[in-house]
Amino acid sequence: MPKGTVGLLAFLFLIMLSNIVPARATVGLFQLSNFSWCGDPHVVSCGQVTVIFLVNSNTSNPGVDANSFVQRVIDAANTWKAVSGILFQYGGATTRSCGVDNGAGVDVIGWSTLAGTPPPLAGTTPFTFSGNELSQVTTCFNNDSSISWSVSPTGPLNSGVYDLQSDALHEFGHWVDLLDLSINNCNLAECSSQVMWFQLASATFKRVL
């Protein structure tokens, strides 16, 4: 990916598209995907959801320190935890792969080589029991060698380098039932600064909701 461009943040569906309710609710600028964690085995009740995510930090991407990667993911999860009502918990390291079906309640975050033109920065995939009840969500960050990542807590971010925590915050937005924002559903001037905007510019922090 050329330096200074924006990266795409993909929301991937392995499930049947017919499972997605076409009429989508809207909350403020956010577009809800109509998925629900109510079917997940972690759920005590639909008002108290604990989602335990596992992290596979194995990446071929140079410059991504494993411990810093895990911490940036946790920081992003905690940002949503503060406002979403979903109690995200880091469940530890895993050797399981992201982007595949690991079974209900096994929510894996890791690295994979994601193809595309340009290659997406990351992809989040929901799985459901039936209908729109989530059983599992997984996020992959892109190992593609053309993408340069920063897992620094503070930066600075060089030109052409993407802030992993900003991307993780976007991906966790899908975990809490939000869709991408784009010019198809939102005003450019109003929405392009939002975390759920479908693109992330390089050398840019978007760590605040």
Residue numbers at the binding site for Zn ion (CB under 5 A): 9, 11, 180
Q: Which is nearer to Zn ion, 43 or 176 (CB)?
A: 176
Q: Which is nearer to Zn ion, 177 or 180 (CB)?
A: 180
CA distance 176 to 196: 11
Q: Residue 177 contacts by C-beta under 8 Å, 6 or more apart in sequence?
A: 32, 33, 34, 35, 36, 37
Q: Which is nearer to Zn ion, 9 or 49 (CB)?
A: 9
| Runs of H (alpha helix) within 10-163 | 66-84
Q: Which is nearer to Zn ion, 9 or 157 (CB)?
A: 9
- The CA-based diameter of the chain, rounded to the nearest angstrom, is 46
CA distance 165 to 120: 16
Which residue number places its CB atom closest to Zn ion? 9
CA distance 143 to 161: 14
Residue 11 Cβ vs Zn ion, minimum distance, rounded to whole Å? 4
Residue 174 Cβ vs Zn ion, minimum distance, rounded to whole Å? 6
Residue 205 Cβ vs Zn ion, minimum distance, rounded to whole Å? 17
How would you class 32 by CB atoms within 10 Å of its CB: exposed for 0-12, middle for 13-18, buried for 19 or more?
Answer: middle
Q: Which is nearer to Zn ion, 43 or 179 (CB)?
A: 179
Residue 47 Cβ vs Zn ion, minimum distance, rounded to whole Å? 26
